[in-house]
Chain A
Amino acid sequence: MVLSADSAPVRTWLRRQRHLPARLARRVTTWFIEDRHGDYGFAVMRIASGIFLLGWLLINLPIASRIWGPGSAYMQPYREILGYRFPFDILQHAGPGLFWLWYAITTALVVAFLLGWRTRIVTPLLFIAYTTLNGQNTPISDGGNYFIRIMLVYLILVDVSRRWSLDARRRAAKRSAETQTGSVLHNIGLCLVVAQICTVYLEAGLYKVQGDLWQNGTAVYYPLQSVAYGVFPGLADLLTYFALPVFIATYVTVLAQIAFPFLLFNTITRRAVLIALLGMHLSIGVLMGLPFFSGIMASADAVLVSGATWIAIVSWLKGTLLGNRITDSLAARFRKRSSRATAKGGDDEVEEAEPDTAPAEPGVRA
């Protein structure tokens, strides 16, 4: 085959790039093994979604028997065909004893998850316990319940307790090494979480675009004025009095959702879209009385915020909440009292004081 003079640069370029696939593969594998990415974001997601799940279980405790327990038997014709097989169907014909035991275990698992205690075992167990409970009455769930159930599947792969958790303290004390396999699974879990968030927002946005009320810029008015979601009718009247704010809120919602996956690539646009969505979730949570839905959705977005940002936010919060006169004087009083007690009790009872900074957490060891 004879190549013309014009093809020489192409050939040279191709020759130069012959190691590109190998380099790319190395970069990808290095990304998967060198670190457990998004660990601070996952810590925030774990703590926030744990708090919301706990709130959900506690607030619904007085009526749990009627919506998920033996009293939910009216749902049986509907739920029996939803594909919840063993162990997810275990509560369908259960009596109050098993139901309340299950409820207590689920609550305990949520607390353990929130605190980051043995999450490699707790997360899959929580998925089973929570999904079983949820499967008793799927229509009563809100979007947040659907979302966290799917997220829990992905979080089984993730090292959610690498930061700000009981596991992290234990690991630091033991100086236990992290395995490559664990890192690979963690990072695949991260990819799944991000992909699911992007799918949810993008598709919700694309479907919204097809709706007339979203197109004409009045959509957010309707749920706010409904009886079911109009938690504060007076406030809803005020917010929807003028057309412009309704139009802006409607269009920002749609645009932010559709653009979400594309805005993640740049730091500034990512922050902008995350703030927009946080505002949207806050509004839905308060104005429409859906705090658990909004809270769980927003907690998943935490994964998209960098570790450095989370550390900065936590430092700022510590400074604001703890570094004021009231807390300083309280801390000084506490120190005084404990030093008196120590002087009385003798040296044997003195425990090593907590260091001001958290112990170094283990890095990835290849």
Chain B
Amino acid sequence: MATPRIRRFPAAVLVLVGALATAHIGATLAFTGPATPVKESLQPGLNRYFLGPLDQGWSLFAPGPYSQDEYMLVRACVSDRDVCAGGTDAGAEFTPWRQVTAEEQEAVKYNVFADRETRISKVIHGRFWSAAAKLNDEQRDMAEGNHIDGDPVFGVDLNSSKASEKYSPAQLSTLRSYQRLEDTAVGLGTLYMRQQYGDSVTLVEVRMMRESVPAFDKRHEKNPTRSQSWTNIGWRPATEFDEQVSAAWS
């Protein structure tokens, strides 16, 4: 049987789309692979290419499996902000700590088809923790401090020219990443607390806690130790959301 001959247009398509596909897979390999001089030379183009719809955010439990449970805890001040600033001595009313992640994950047990609400705070924890880990000691102290009047956490608006003067581009990038995730965590914390305490929530405080799974060789112990580590966000003003956001959480 004679082999079919390729026509001109399909041949052109084969060459053009084939070249693009090869380039794309090559870029994928370079982007997702280990740090190499080739990868370095292709940056920042690679990062830009794989932003958004082409994001390759899979990790498949590599290089380390999930071995520490990630928790988010929130509490709020439900008095006027000025009163809150004075603390309990000034008559401020504080809510107990709410274990947001533990509440979410109650639905996971014996439920293979749990919805993703069981992961909301856990996934924010994961991203926040990585960003916070990049802060130096001084920056971490600033982040753990209280900033209840909306003053910048790191003393300067991170999008201003002053910030560019104060910090190197790499430092500024780290701080901005942290700030975005802190705002996200505070926003989620606000919604959870408003869900429970309504509009009286004026300030929120968020804590992230990691609790290790008992080591493999300790698995037969009756009460194996689970070590904990914490990263805290100091008191922050409750995030303001519009009505339709509140309605979704009511």
Contact = CB atoms under 8 A, between A and B. Distances in A.
B239 A286 contact: no
Interface string B15-57: 0011001001100110011100000000000001001111111
A34 B247 CA distance: 57
Contact of A366 (B4, B67, B123): B4
B245 A185 contact: no
B53 A33 contact: no
B220 to A, nearest CB: 8
A34 B108 contact: no
Contacts of B9: 180-181
A28 to B, nearest CB: 9
A226 B67 contact: yes
A309 interface: no
Contacts of B241: 73-74
Contact of A211 (B54, B63, B111, B214): B63
Given A181-B9, A222-B65, A143 B191 contact: no
A71 B56 contact: no
Contact of B53 (A69, A143, A149): A149
B155 interface: no
Given A71-B248, A150-B56, A240-B219, A77 B187 contact: yes
Interface string A129-147: 0010001001111010011
A63 B62 contact: no
A67 B117 contact: yes
Contacts of A33: 4, 6, 10
Contacts of A139: 123-124, 126-127
Contacts of A55: 113
Given A153-B54, A226-B69, A228-B108, A75 B63 contact: no
Q: Could you say which interface size class chain B belongs to?
A: 35 or more
A32 B55 contact: no
Contacts of A233: 109
Contact of B216 (A127, A246, A291): A246
Interface string B198-240: 0000000000000001101001100000000000000000010
Given A153-B53, A192-B25, A26 B3 contact: yes
A208 B34 CA distance: 12
Interface stretch (B73-81, B84-92, B140-148, B177-185): B177-185
Interface centre among A95, A146, A199 (most CB of B within 10 A): A199
B169 to A, nearest CB: 15
Contacts of A72: 248
Given A59-B115, A140-B123, A195-B25, A29 B32 contact: no
A223 B65 contact: yes
B67 to A, nearest CB: 4
A104 interface: no
Given A77-B187, A82-B55, A228 B4 contact: no
A220 B67 CA distance: 9
B63 A222 contact: no
A77 B108 contact: no
Contacts of A229: 66, 108
Contacts of B7: 180
Given A84-B52, A131-B53, A211 B64 contact: yes
B244 A96 contact: yes
Given A181-B9, A223-B67, A289-B108, A146 B58 contact: yes
Contacts of B14: 29, 32, 184, 188
B249 to A, nearest CB: 5
Contacts of A208: 60-63
A228 B69 contact: yes
A143 B120 CA distance: 15
A180 B216 CA distance: 57
A318 to B, nearest CB: 28
Contacts of A214: 62-65
Given A147-B58, A203-B32, A226-B67, A29 B51 contact: no
Contacts of A75: 184, 187
A78 B116 contact: no
Interface string B115-143: 11101101110110000000000000000
Interface of B: 3-7, 9-11, 13-14, 17-18, 21, 24-25, 28-29, 32-34, 48, 51-70, 102, 105, 108-117, 119-120, 122-124, 126-127, 179-181, 183-184, 187-188, 190-191, 213-214, 216, 219-220, 239, 241-242, 244-245, 247-249
Given A70-B248, A185-B17, A199-B28, 11 more contacts: A65-B248, A67-B116, A74-B184, A74-B241, A138-B57, A147-B58, A179-B10, A184-B10, A195-B25, A208-B61, A227-B102
6 contacts: A69-B248, A84-B53, A146-B55, A180-B10, A192-B24, A209-B63
